[in-house]
Amino acid sequence: MPRWGMVIDLDKCFACQSCTAACRMENNTPVAGPNQAAAGRAILWNEVLPFIEGEYPNVQAVMLPRPCMHCDEPACIKVCPVQATYKDEEGLVLIDYQRCIGCRMCTVACPYSVRYFNWYPPEWPASLKQHLNPDPEVAPRPAGVVEKCTFCVQRLRKARQTAEAQGRPFQATDYIPACVQTCTGHARYFGDLDDPNSLVAKLSHSPRAYRLQEELGTQPKVFYLKQG
Amino acid sequence: MQIGNLVATFFEAAGPGGVVIMAVLILALITYYLLARWILAGGKEKS
Amino acid sequence: MQLKNENEALILAPLKKLSTGDKLLWSFLGGLLLLGLIAYIRQLVLGLGVTGMNRPVYWGVYITNFVFFIGLAHSGTFISAILRVAGQSWRAPLTRAAEAITLFSLPFGAAAILADMGRPDRIFNILFFGRYQSPLLWDFTAVGLYFLSSVIFMYFSLLPDIALVRDRLKGQIPQWRQRMYEILALGWSGRPEQFRRLEKVLDGMAIFMTMLVVTVHTVVSWVFGMTLQPGWHTALIGPFFLLGAILSGTAAVVIVLALLRRVYGLQKSLPLSLFNSLRKLLITFTLGWLYMMIAEYLTGSYGNMVEEMRVIQDKFSGQYALMFWGMAILVFGVPLLIFILRGKNSIGWMVAASVMINIGMWLERYIVIVPTEVSPRLFYELAQGVYRPTWTEMVMTVSFFAGMALLYAVFTRLFPIIPIWETAQNLHALSIPQANQVASEEPAVELSGD
């Protein structure tokens, strides 16, 4: 079974936020609006975090795109009382929206703050509402449940179905999350970490590669290539 | 090895937890019921 | 044989008639409860967005209330079970009043959780799909067992008095109440062997409940302690919460006793010496709590780890400084001074200190929960979260307290709040080991002064 992971090259990312926008369109995350966003209610499965130090002209900036880390030892699934969040055999950490009771223990347990909660029923401005992704896997979630980045698992399913329909074996390169596909700077890579010949496997062993908060033992599967 | 796996599955799978809660509460209820009966039967003459 | 309690008439007096004051109080409290219900229904319809919670502050006032009310519950068990196991017979007049606190605070702890859930309609998923790896399941088990056991413990210790009320108040109370006592008395006839068995069961349950008290609040703390968040992931959190619960619970007992004493004229059954004994316990617990706080913050700040210091500094000198130091003053500063300098033989001062302790402890729960969430691990370099509770959360909080007070007030009009049988002068005549201990010291009601 493949073990899906992501590599993000911080030298190539210039924080255009296309990944964040593409993620929203692909996964039907609700729009919070400026007031609710200011109140901390925005749902952004992928977020670009600005780590900025210093004052002009001596500014050091690291713009860090942050999807879900899809940890191999996730802190979130340990604490879920009903197994509404779980890790599948391919290493993806997913959520069963029908089972989630909205206790939000997973959201406080995650040390990367990648999990979001639907504080109210989902809304979109009229213009966006016409362009929701019709895939049932990403049907809008109701109020009261948790959601987060799934590495676009619906695309995995579609890729497998397409391969089967075309009578050929599924290849890891058939599956690509929206953020990786959209990235303007070609900074994001995705693939099977267990395949020694895959790009992500090779990049994850690069001397520039690091992961966030590795000391916590969560074994995140999103690698960053150090800037500079 | 087998036991280790069994224990791990017990904790991680969905379902056994609910069974434990129910079992504990039902056991307690039964115990308290029997205790109540025992208390109230104190000193009754055997017929 | 008959147990004789010279204060029986006094203790039974509140059960005979409702005053206008009662009706006013109950209506007022009922009104507050209703407001809470309305606020909750609105929240169900509009979503949890009507609260002030957000990302990263996913847990706020509701969880604070959960921890606080479960903590209050420990008062009853402490007085009735732990002191019983320790052979402290002076506790006898207090036990039922204290257990009633437990009985009526636990449901509102549970209500707070229900209010906090995103999908309360799916609560039974915990039973169908429960995972024991989750601290929430440990919570559910422990609190559920604790509640069930508290109800039964209270009921068992109430049995002889229900039978007494059934017999004594015949003709003086409405028919439906007479019927209620007859059913609830389970045919108790006061045979010595029944009393002996009852005492045995209560002794056994007291030991069990003592173990439960330790388990319950430790398990509640582990909902926080088992995560990796700074300020929460500390081995000390179990004992920390436990001692805090016992402290706030014992202070609550002082308040309730003073109220009962005043409202129902129970000075003879609840003498000053009781308050002096509680005073000594409170000094011990307050100092113990101070020790915990010092251990926690000294260790954290000495280590100087970045994410820990963010939270500690927030509490010591940042946006939560006012609340933190206010809490410290309310929980130890002033109460300790009061206990040592003014508390002896003064119920007024004891109540003042106890009220301060409970307000401080509510703030303390908030301070444990919110500042940690406001400075999450990954974001400490970026910006802090903000949490401003909304009126929905305030109204719900008030309604929880009102609900607890209402249940308590109604209870005191239906059942004798002082155990008549346990404070009977001739309890030792039943040859019960517990009573024999009493006989070898002094009668249960009169206590050696301090």
pLDDT mean over C123-149: 95
* Residue pairs spanning B and C at CB distance below 8 A: 86
- Residue C445 — very low, low, confident or very high, per pLDDT cuts 50/70/90? very low
For residue C421, the 8-state DSSP code is T
Helices then strands, each counted (H, E), chain B? 2, 0
List, in order of start, the domains of chain A with CATH numbers.
4-225 (3.30.70.20)
Q: In chain A, pLDDT over 90 holds for what percent of residues?
A: 89
pLDDT, tens digit, 9 for 90 and up, residues C16-48? 888 888 999 999 999 999 999 999 999 999 999
Q: Taking 50 as the threshold, does the pLDDT of residue C268 lie above it?
A: yes
Task: Judge whether B8 is closer than 8 Å to chain C, CB to CB.
Answer: no
**What residues does each domain of chain B span?**
2-40
| Mean of all residue pLDDT scores within chain C | 89
Lowest-confidence region among A37-41, C91-95, C157-161 = C91-95
Pairing of strands A222-225, A4-9: parallel
**Cβ contacts of C135 on chain A, cutoff 8 Å:** 79, 105
Q: Taking 80 as the threshold, does the pLDDT of residue C444 lie above it?
A: no
Q: How far apart are CA C140 and CA C215, in angstroms?
A: 12
Identify the CA nearest to C370 among candidates C293, C315, C308. Answer: C315
Amino acid C427 reads L
pLDDT at residue C430 in the model: 63
pLDDT, tens digit, 9 for 90 and up, residues C383-425? 678 899 999 999 999 999 999 999 999 999 999 999 999 888 7
Q: How far apart are CA C230 and CA C373, in angstroms?
A: 9
Determine contact, residues C130/B18, Cβ cutoff 8 Å.
yes
Cis preceding linkage at C107, omega within 30: no
Q: Taking 60 as the threshold, does the pLDDT of residue C438 lie above it?
A: no
Cis preceding linkage at A220, omega within 30: no
pLDDT, tens digit, 9 for 90 and up, residues A117-153? 999 999 999 998 899 999 999 999 999 999 999 999 9
Q: What string of DSSP letters covers C193-233?
A: HHHHHHHHHHHHHHHHHHHHHHHHHHHHHHHHHTS--TTTS
| C361 found inside a domain | no
pLDDT at residue C432 in the model: 54
| C279 found inside a domain | no
Q: Which tokens is A88 given?
A: 């599948």
Q: How far apart are CA A222 and CA A71, in angstroms?
A: 8
Q: At CB < 8 Å, which residues of chain C contact B?
A: 126-134, 137, 140-141, 144-145, 148-149, 152, 156, 159, 186-188, 191-198, 201
H or E, element range at A199: helix A199-204
Identify the CA nearest to C408 among candidates C169, C98, C69. Answer: C98
**Cβ contacts of C198 on chain B, cutoff 8 Å:** 39, 42
| C430 found inside a domain | yes
pLDDT at residue C424 in the model: 84
This prediction has a pTM of: 0.92
User: Which of C46, C227, C311 would best serve as a mutation to test chain A binding (most A beta carbons within 10 A)?
Assistant: C227
**Cβ contacts of B24 on chain C, cutoff 8 Å:** 141, 144-145
Tally of domains in chain C: 1
The minimum CA-CA distance between C109 and chain A, rounded to whole Å, is 15
- Residue C184 — very low, low, confident or very high, per pLDDT cuts 50/70/90? very high
Q: How far apart are CA C263 and CA C281, in angstroms?
A: 25
Q: Taking 80 as the threshold, does the pLDDT of residue C1 lie above it?
A: no
Task: Judge whether A81 is closer than 8 Å to chain B, CB to CB.
Answer: yes
Task: Judge whether A101 is closer than 8 Å to chain B, CB to CB.
Answer: no
Q: Taking 50 as the threshold, does the pLDDT of residue C449 lie above it?
A: no
The count of other CB atoms within 10 Å of the CB of residue A85 is 24
Which chains pack against A, by 3+ Cβ pairs within 8 A? B, C
ipTM of the modeled complex: 0.92
The minimum CA-CA distance between C167 and chain B, rounded to whole Å, is 17
Cβ contact A119–C47 (<8 Å):
yes
Cβ contact C186–B36 (<8 Å):
yes
3-state secondary structure of C433: helix
What residue numbers bound the domain in which C113 lies? 8-269+391-440
Lowest-confidence region among A17-31, A121-135, C54-68, C263-277 = C263-277
In order of A74, A80, A84, C131, C133, the CA distances from A87 in angstroms are 8, 12, 10, 14, 15
| C367 found inside a domain | no
| C315 found inside a domain | no
Residue A75 has its nearest CB partner, among C54, C119, C227, at: C227
* Residue pairs spanning A and B at CB distance below 8 A: 4
Task: Judge whether A98 is closer than 8 Å to chain B, CB to CB.
Answer: no
Q: Which residues of chain A, if any, have pLDDT below 50? A: none
| C386 found inside a domain | no
Amino acid C29 reads L
Q: Which tokens is C151 given?
A: 């109800």
- Residue C441 — very low, low, confident or very high, per pLDDT cuts 50/70/90? very low
Q: Taking 80 as the threshold, does the pLDDT of residue C238 lie above it?
A: yes
Which CATH number do you get for residue C119?
A: 1.20.1630
Which chains pack against C, by 3+ Cβ pairs within 8 A? A, B
pLDDT at residue C440 in the model: 41
Q: How far apart are CA A147 and CA A112, in angstroms?
A: 14
In order of A170, A187, C380, the CA distances from C406 in angstroms are 65, 62, 44
Determine contact, residues A19/A65, Cβ cutoff 8 Å.
yes
Which chains pack against B, by 3+ Cβ pairs within 8 A? A, C
Determine contact, residues C100/C417, Cβ cutoff 8 Å.
yes
The minimum CA-CA distance between B4 and chain C, rounded to whole Å, is 15
Cβ contact B13–A83 (<8 Å):
yes
Tell me chain A's radius of gyration from C-alpha atoms: 18
Helices then strands, each counted (H, E), chain C? 17, 0
3-state secondary structure of A203: helix
Determine contact, residues C10/C448, Cβ cutoff 8 Å.
no
Helix, strand, coil fractions of chain C, as percent rounded to 5? 75, 0, 25
Sign of CA dihedral C353, C368, C98, C193: negative
Q: Is A204 left (phi over 0), alpha (psi -120 to 50) or beta?
A: alpha
Within 209-268 of C, beta carbons closer than 8 Å to A belong to 223, 226-229
Q: At CB < 8 Å, which residues of chain A contact C?
A: 36, 39-42, 49-51, 66, 75, 78-84, 99-105, 107-109, 111-113, 116-121, 143-146, 212-213, 216
